[in-house]
Amino acid sequence: MQPAALTDLRYAHATALAGAIRSRQLSPVELLEDVLRRAEQLQPIINPFVTLDPGPARTAARLAEQSVMRDEPLGVLHGLPVSVKDLEPTRGLRTTYGSKFFENNVPDFDGGVASRLRQAGAIIFGKTNTPHQGHKDSCDNLLGPPTRNPWDVTRTPGASSGGAAASIAAGIGALAHGSDGAGSIRIPAALCGVFGFKPSLGVVPYWPNPDFWAARSHNGPITRSVRDAAFMLNAIAGHDVRDAVSIEPLVADWLGAIENADVRGLKVAWSPDFGYAPVDPEVRKIAETAAKRFSELGCSVQEVRVPWEDPSEWASLLWDFQTAIRNDSRAREHPEWIEPTMMEQIERGRRVSTLEIGQAQLARTAFYEQARQFMESFDLLLTPQMPCVAWPVDQPPTSIDGKPTPHMFQHLQFTFPFNLTGWPAASVPCGFNSEGLPVALQIVAGKHQDVLCLQAAAAFEALQPWDAKHPPV
């Protein structure tokens, strides 16, 4: 008989599920079947998956059950179903990168995260949807229908880890892998009302990676609780020699490090708009109320204006240049397989001069120095996570609070800066707007202060729990 907390497996936490499996109160087979039923039920409605893999997953679940019954050594995530974003290669399981060019690609190897998930005993049951090579913040591509937000199926879940966040919000498993090059974990986590964590650069390996030296892309967890994210980090974090920017572990036990989180005495900066970012007034009010609650946790909270100017112009130039150099030849071969949003980035990247790229790289260095000096006075920086709630599936926001936002980076003002610095950043649900759509607060910490960032998120979650309300799907 299952414990009361697990009577509804859809929204049970991974830590509770893992304990129930180890104590033989829950079979990995039973858990997987529940996840697959939910996935098959909701796939036609919100389309969170590019590929489901029920056959091999069921085989893995039966083997996991046998290992439990034989009292064999078990991995950290033994028997837990986990989804993997379709930008991560998975051995024997279709990996499309959201691209027509790779529509039928089946790798014969695992990426760094997929490999660690399997080693930890996780059962990879599906690949979550993503835009073409994760190039934008809405979750659609030319392979099939767009992913939809489970809170309102006319809206986007955000991207590029949109399928991952939508599936977690909808109760399809407890753990999802995401990746973040300009906000791609935090954007959909915010818009779907779940927890997303972008670790410091190199904490979780990112291999294979077409450009390590861009020093921008991070792998991390998307979950419904902070503890589950820390639990997943115990399996996927740590040095990988194949990743040129991978680092040694920051902590031996992520979950243990955030138990009984105490953030009393921390100096916390709150910035509602960085002094230049447009923010929807309702979102701003909800996020500000949440930020001020850190004083109830014993923190000193100070509203600030950051010292840097809007970096979106040169940051987006670097983004578009990278998109162009990775896709130029394919775009010439099959332009009809390139979405208009991606072609626009490629064409801008083609036009840029070497001088402009060099100037943008120097601007990134100057920005880092400004941000580093700013954070010397604070332990944490809080911001709204997204400046607006989820937008219609086919209509990204062209203005926010009456201010034009024609370029994607102009409505990602709170996310991409911390890819430029490589610092840890967490997206925590903090309320709902008048339409019933999720709003989130971002928690940022300095270089390699990942444990502090997670502790702050855990403390806020304890103060203002978010997991009692679920989407209507």
The token pair at 327 is 């896709």
Catalytic residue among 85, 100, 127, 136: 85
In angstroms, rounded to a whole number, what is the distance separating the alpha carbons of residues 257 and 262? 11
Cβ-based neighbours of 423, under 8 Å, separated by 6 or more: 200, 371, 444, 445, 446, 447, 449
Q: Out of 115, 167, 179, 184, which one is annotated catalytic? A: 184
- Cα–Cα distances in Å, from 44 out to 38, 316, 408? 11, 34, 28
Distance of CA 374 to the CA centre of its chain: 25
- Give the sign of the dihedral formed by CA 415, CA 417, CA 422, CA 428: negative
Query: Helix (H, G, I), strand (E, B), or coil: what is residue 96?
Result: coil
Other beta carbons less than 10 A from residue 347's beta carbon: 13
**Contact indicator for 458, 227 with CB cutoff of 8 Å:** yes
Q: Give the Cα separation of 406 and 408 in Å (integer).
A: 7
With a CB cutoff of 8 Å and minimum separation 6, the contacts of 358 are: none
User: Taking a C-beta distance cutoff of 8 angstroms, is the pair 74, 68 a contact?
Assistant: yes
Among the listed residues 158, 414, 423, 433, the one whose alpha carbon sits nearest the alpha carbon of residue 276: 414
Q: Are 204 and 170 in contact (CB under 8 A)?
A: no
Asked about 184 being catalytic, the answer comes back as: yes
> What does the block give as tokens for 446?
């300095």
**In degrees rounded to 5, what are phi and psi of residue 445?**
-125, 170
Q: In the structure encoding, which two tokens stand for residue 282, read together?
A: 């309702």
Q: Can 200 be counted among the known catalytic residues? A: no
| Options 27, 83, 138, 160, the catalytic residue | 160
Neighbours of 212 (CB within 10 A): 17
Active site residue 160: yes
CA–CA distance, 179 with 207 (Å, rounded to integer): 12
Cβ atoms 21, 27 nearer than 8 A: yes
Active site residues: 85, 160, 184
